[in-house]
Chain A
């Protein structure tokens, strides 16, 4: 890949022909305004390819130039200077520092770049540098705790998996709560983009900024623009990183002896015979029978201590006055976590992940007023998996306890636990994880995506000053393919007892299945077209701007669409949007914008939604009475009010259409006696919901942006409210007399949300040391106002009044102390109870504990509070960044066979060491009514194993998300090697986690812990600019 790219670059250089002109050698010194020489300034010849030159430690340079060419001097943090060479042999240059004040910071909004000072909506601009230290292949993984207003959760550590994130608050229980991601103006996948290619990253949080997307802005919008070529000498940036990934927390399980002892305890505690005789326990303890009493640490066997991965990035940009280019490529290789590579010869079953991305863009000035931009980007992802799939292996890893079965029997037979099911296809879960990872074949998945963009920017100053037309066209294809090659060896189960001669007795469970394959694919294409007319004028102190925009887009599935005609019809959107803004003396801003968008998923009478928004800002910092206050650089209050929409109904297509089907069976016979002429009737199998339309969010946002003390302290605070109406949901509780055959759906739900987000950063220089502290926080709370639910005499059973996805269950009162306690407590109806079983609170006071006593408990699995804070220290070439991230207001139930000890009975389910060795209730030993875990049961226990506060855990945590240590090599050394900048760095992620929840990584949000854990990553790399 890299070689191809380099070859491309080389080709670009070939057409160059030097025109015979007088060649002179120009020398000189570059200094700052204080006459101090600057080293590392790049000196290039305008509109000429080549690397140019770099000033040395004394600020000196020399370069061969033809006369009447222009020399360009650029250096980060200084203003660019261009000087025309005539005949002079010495050109000394004085560079001025660029004006980096917040007042000039640029924010990318829906209708183009705006100065930050002029923004009236709630927009967060993300420092892209902060996203770069994230070791994952996905940009989304780096968002949590970095971007105020974004809540993110990484729910799996599997290579290639991606985080889920949402903006501010989940304020719907509808089909989609995902933010809209626009890359270079078009709706594209966030994970398609390589973080090094991002020029700007903005998050639009309120209605003022998102209304223009009308249709799809209700859940917030992320705007990304990619890097473009810059005029000047060729810039090459390369970065190579190597990673070492370990698990943050892998559940640990008890060994065979402890498992068996506890199984006996579970049996005896319920007055049953123990499962293992004392002799068998002794054999197990001594490890004398690895066939019938094995003791296998499956995690240790199947998983590596750590996996390696690499990432390399190369990008090149440059160009001249009339055309500029930007080219980049990246390669990432993540090694799977399974420790199986040595066991395999012909193919790789490991969960490896490879990703290649490339991006190419060219900007051409066709005429003086016309800019044409063409871009193409794409990715190729390849993922391998063992034949049964990664999920099955994790299920087996968590389900196979140390004594379920050996890895292989001593005579070479491959074991599988007989689950009593005669269907071999259902028995896969009972094959041991080692066999699953090595002997079940392999799956190959790959996806290749291509995005193309063409845009034309025409300046219409010749019509009237300040008028500009931008039109854009995009075409994307996405393709996913897989080939699953599955096989299975002959599988055996040994009898629990040996025969009279001490030999094993086997039963063959499944015969061998030779390798077979299946394959499939799916894909989609997207088309976009839009144009915008911009008009900006200022007359005196009055500044005025307006935009009108037309857009349309279509998405259609191209493969594997089945026979239903609806699946092949494009999902189209069409809309108009506009914006008018006005400000006076940069003090008072007012901004109105609207979207008028239609989705053809709705009936034509309900198709278009109108989404207006109005916002204003008062820039106090520009007022004469504070302008003199030196310490205020910027102070701005802004407010917005507006509506946005959401048309995502999940998979529902055309809800306004009904379905008619023939009656099942029966029919009326019109035939004569003994003749058949039977006709069956027709029925509505689903009723049309003609009035279905947009889900509408009404958002308000009040915010303050500030920057004080010569920009040392800056930040913002936002308070927001939102009311989401018309949430599309199934009407499950319509009375029978309505006469419907199926449940219809409608826009009935209402959710209100409110919260705040804030961020700050503080920069201070103490002698040679640059210090930065920064922090951000996002909090939100939502409440269901209305949803379709069953009427009940107990209002606490309603979801209305609670959060979306609120946890509910019984309230536990500890464990039963003794039989006296049981007799004196309300009757628990789930199953018979004994001392040491969970005692519940009788919420409705009817003397019976049943499902009517379930109430809202805790919060939601997804956190309602996210925060991050960090610090950067910079001294000479050294830099250190630390970033902590945390969440709060998150609770979830733990359940499943790994938590409910022995709930699945014989041979399946594992016991976590943390639980086995905790303060658990043990008959005769530790009959503590406040123990962490109840009396053991072998098999199901309907009383203990149900959702209650007993099993509710606090998912809040703080973790040292990244620790990034870098060293930029001294300029003297670097320049000698004709390089501009070289930085070596070490990054550690997820290094420390502080949490009350100890069983597995709390960020996973998993109730069972049976998921690929998150990675703790150590990486080392080098980044080179030349």
Chain B
């Protein structure tokens, strides 16, 4: 009896304790409310008060200030120079859009539409946007794969030709400017046919195809270098034009690691050897093969580009980050010992400047382009544009030896993939190949690590 009472009392205490525990351990939840930006108010007028910047070209950002824009980018139509601009962000008092192509007139209109896409309000800016035509980087060929493993390699029309790995060297057929070839080291070389707008494989049968160059005379047959690692194999082959470049014939000289070739307008073939570190001359007529000069370094790839006049050639010393020049001796019909023209031998970096104060990082292919501005001054009329691969840029070397940056590294960056303004937007990823199309007045860039062919041209 006594025990029972005691137990009851105890239980009562325990319940109280437990109740206390439960109450104290209960937690509260807090709900947060999100405030909505004010939407379009039909009772008020739409106004454009200002915009920024005042001038620019296609793809540039434009910010328009005003009132009552609403907050739905799908319910506002912005036209600049009569072209519809893509609205990216909108905040009722400001909006952000990109300048459309060919918005030459530069007048800015905005229109608010309703659910049925009917215009319910509109406004126009008093000032007009000053539209500049400029050089732009665009994507010419190939598909940019957001997921790199989706990569497809295939033949096909321009709008469906997959993408290209390992682009190494671009070269136009000198007799047919509608045919642009590129080599891609261990990957498939291609023929880009502008006439049929089609990209097809160009089969060399080599393990690693390095350089395409063209004989100076006759049919202007193609000379293709096979970059192999054997001392007892031929290094250069001639693909004859009359076989439609299907049949090849070896130049009967063993050459290992050919990574640079050029043909002088006088007809001789010059080629560089990787391991041996020298440049040799082959005479198609006499079949004579001899050393021209030893390169200062061995075990590096030396690409060679000859000046259109045949007066000199540039030797692009890839792994040593500098460019040498070799002048042509018209008497002896051979090249002289080369000397450094720009970059620091063995010193990589990125710096514009004159001659050896400039810094390069794994330069690859270059091309001479005539600069009409030099006409009056006389002398060398050609600028040399070259791919500075690891600086992800297209550099320019003037006849006076000044190195500048022509395109890429948009916004002070490095690698990437971006089209647009040459210096403020465009980005490349290890561009290696470059060709200039005199007829279309544009550059084609082999953007190797983006697997694409890019194009640099003035806006039409």
Contact = CB atoms under 8 A, between A and B. Distances in A.
Contacts of B411: 273, 275-277, 496
Contacts of A279: 52-53, 60-63
Interface string A585-603: 0000000000000000000
Contact of B27 (A308, A507, A1026): A308
Interface in B390-445: 410-413, 416-420, 424-425, 427
Nearest to B138: A500
Nearest to B2: A64
Contacts of A501: 86
Nearest to A242: B24
A511 B147 CA distance: 9
Contacts of B347: none
A844 B51 CA distance: 60
Nearest to B150: A508
A16 B2 CA distance: 11
A502 B101 contact: no
A182 to B, nearest CB: 33
Contacts of B85: 502
Contact of A16 (B3, B21, B101): B3
A312 B412 contact: no
A331 to B, nearest CB: 9
Given A18-B3, A236-B13, A310-B24, A288 B98 contact: no
Contacts of B20: 238, 240, 1022, 1024
B91 A286 contact: yes
Interface string A1001-1022: 0000000000000000000111
Which of A2, A502, A506 counts the most chain B CB atoms within 10 A? A502
Contact of A51 (B10, B95, B96): B10
Interface in A492-548: 492, 495-503, 505-508, 511
Interface in B172-228: none
A157 interface: no
B94 A500 contact: no
Which of B18, B86, B88, B91 counts the most chain A CB atoms within 10 A? B88
Contacts of A1022: 20, 24
A274 B412 contact: yes
Contacts of B309: none
Given A51-B9, A279-B61, A288-B88, A498 B96 contact: no
Contact of B410 (A10, A497, A502): A497
A6 interface: yes
Contact of A511 (B96, B149, B413): B149
A265 to B, nearest CB: 14
A267 B91 contact: no
A979 interface: yes
Which of A275, A289, A498, A978 counts the most chain B CB atoms within 10 A? A498
A6 B7 contact: no
Interface in B38-79: 52-53, 58-63
A77 interface: no
A314 B144 CA distance: 67
Interface in A258-281: 267, 272-280
A278 B53 contact: yes
B24 A506 contact: no
A307 to B, nearest CB: 10
B384 to A, nearest CB: 24
A689 interface: no
B17 A500 contact: no
Interface size class of B (residues with CB under 8 A): 35 or more
Which of A236, A241, A500 counts the most chain B CB atoms within 10 A? A500
Contact of B61 (A23, A51, A283, A506): A283
A106 B58 CA distance: 88
Given A272-B412, A283-B63, A979-B13, A288 B91 contact: yes
A270 B410 CA distance: 19
Interface string B1-42: 011001101100110011011001101000000000000000
A797 B95 CA distance: 61
Nearest to B12: A978
B456 interface: no
A499 B419 contact: yes
A282 interface: yes
Contacts of B420: 497, 500
A321 B320 CA distance: 94
Contacts of A505: 144, 146, 417-418
A10 B7 CA distance: 8
B94 to A, nearest CB: 5
A847 interface: no
Given A277-B424, A496-B411, A497-B418, A312 B6 contact: no
A500 B59 contact: yes
B3 to A, nearest CB: 7
A290 interface: yes
Given A6-B14, A498-B98, A978-B9, A506 B425 contact: no
Contacts of A236: 13
Contacts of B18: 2
A495 B6 contact: no
B89 interface: yes
Given A308-B27, A508-B146, A502 B97 contact: yes
Contacts of A333: 25
Given A277-B424, A1026-B13, A492 B146 contact: yes
Contacts of B87: 502
Given A50-B6, A502-B88, A508 B61 contact: no
A508 B61 CA distance: 25
B101 A500 contact: yes
B88 A498 contact: yes
A273 B101 contact: no
Interface in A215-265: 236, 238, 240-242
Nearest to A1020: B24
Given A282-B52, A312-B21, A497-B419, A13 B91 contact: no
B90 interface: yes
B232 interface: no
Contact of B413 (A241, A496, A507): A496
Given A236-B13, A238-B17, A496-B418, A288 B95 contact: yes
A287 interface: yes
Nearest to B6: A50
B63 A978 contact: no
Contacts of A978: 9, 13
B140 to A, nearest CB: 13
B116 interface: no
Contacts of B115: none
Contacts of B14: 6
Contacts of A18: 2-3
Contacts of A1026: 13
Interface in A459-509: 492, 495-503, 505-508
B110 to A, nearest CB: 14
4 pairs of A and B residues whose beta carbons are closest in the complex? A502-B86, A288-B89, A288-B96, A497-B418
5 contacts: A286-B63, A288-B63, A496-B427, A497-B427, A511-B147
Given A240-B24, A282-B52, A287-B91, 15 more contacts: A50-B6, A273-B411, A277-B61, A288-B96, A310-B24, A497-B419, A498-B59, A500-B98, A500-B101, A500-B419, A502-B87, A906-B413, A979-B13, A1020-B24, A1022-B20
